[in-house]
A = this chain, B = another copy of it.
Amino acid sequence: MEFSSKLLERAVNEMSQLPGIGKRTALRLVLHMLKQPKEQTFALSEALQTMRNDVKFCKSCHNISDTELCEICSSPNRKEDIICVVEDVRDVMAIENTSSFKGLYHVLGGKISPMDGVGPHDLNIESLINKVKDGKINELVFALSSTMEGDTTNFYIYKQIQDYKVFTSTIARGISVGDELEYADEITLGRSILNRIPFESSLKL
């Protein structure tokens, strides 16, 4: 692509470093900014800088936070003896949206993936093990994605804590609410049959 302005070219190049944004999309976004009031671009640029500079990670659960200890960890209404282990900040948001979990979280920051060069020490696993060692945790809920890497990570953590008195669970896999059985994959459908629950208890959900 030939640009008539070096400033434009630099802005497009920087934008296209973002995942899923190619040169053409970047150009479209940047030209859109040029049509909008200057203030809008300045606000965006300032928001990104401040965010990158000032955002903190909760020292307990490693969730994104504006304070040392995040709102969830510092809330008195949360059960402190049950911890949901998730991969990412977005997973916390997704589970929070369900209003179905009243415990605390622990954000690993990824999954163990030797292919991508991510080992256990690149993740927030040690601080999780330490929480279990302190003996105040009754249950760990594994809520990682059910991929090879997710399963590996679950198993790694499980191995580290199996000598401690803590109950471990994993979120249910099954047919999504509203889905047709005939279109479900065999593994999901198979698991949903093996892990069937008493009908009475499904009435209470």
Q: Sample 30 A-B pairs with CB under 8 A, ordered by A number.
A: A1-B97, A2-B97, A4-B64, A4-B65, A4-B72, A4-B92, A5-B55, A6-B66, A7-B55, A7-B66, A11-B47, A11-B50, A14-B43, A14-B47, A18-B33, A19-B28, A19-B29, A20-B25, A20-B29, A28-B90, A30-B51, A31-B88, A31-B89, A33-B48, A34-B55, A38-B52, A42-B52, A44-B45, A45-B48, A45-B49
- Whether A141 sits at the interface, judged by CB under 8 Å, is no
A51 B8 Cβ-Cβ under 8 A: yes
If A4-B63, A19-B28, A21-B29 are given as contacts, then 20 extra A-B residue pairs at C-beta distance below 8 Å, sorted by A number, are: A1-B93, A2-B97, A3-B93, A5-B55, A5-B64, A5-B65, A5-B66, A7-B47, A7-B66, A8-B64, A10-B47, A18-B32, A20-B29, A30-B51, A31-B89, A31-B90, A33-B52, A41-B48, A41-B52, A42-B49
